[in-house]
Amino acid sequence: DSGVTQTPKHLITATGQRVTLRCSPRSGDLSVYWYQQSLDQGLQFLIQYYNGEERAKGNILERFSAQQFPDLHSELNLSSLELGDSALYFCASSVDGVAYEQYFGPGTRLTVT
């Protein structure tokens, strides 16, 4: 158990819908990262927050957004869902956002039908 929690574990929804994925970092970690794992793109970084502020952005679509709340939990919002958004979405956390070890949650498996 990494100490990072993610909900829900599985999500099945239809094209055009909107979903919210939730992540709670390890106790004491200030930085939260979101990654997407798909069959064709592999594991890719989406976005990072540090202590409530966006720190870095990767290959995140405009239809996707995220935020980190004062209690440090984070949410990833995916809207206007397409079949190609079906993937495993991971949240990770670390003490800081520079070179510290990142710990990954169990992931949310999103299926868009």
Comparing CB distances to other proteins, the nearer of 69 and 100 is 100
The least CB distance from residue 16 to other proteins, in Å, is 26
Comparing CB distances to other proteins, the nearer of 14 and 98 is 98
What span, in angstroms and rounded, lies between the C-alpha atoms of 104 and 91? 6
Q: Order the strands of the 19-24 sheet from edge to edge.
A: 5-7, 19-24, 74-78, 64-68
Tell how far CA 69 is from the center of its chain: 14
Q: Which residues bind other proteins (CB under 8 A)?
A: 2, 31, 33, 35, 42-45, 48, 55-56, 58, 88, 90, 92, 97-104, 106-107, 109
The least CB distance from residue 47 to other proteins, in Å, is 9
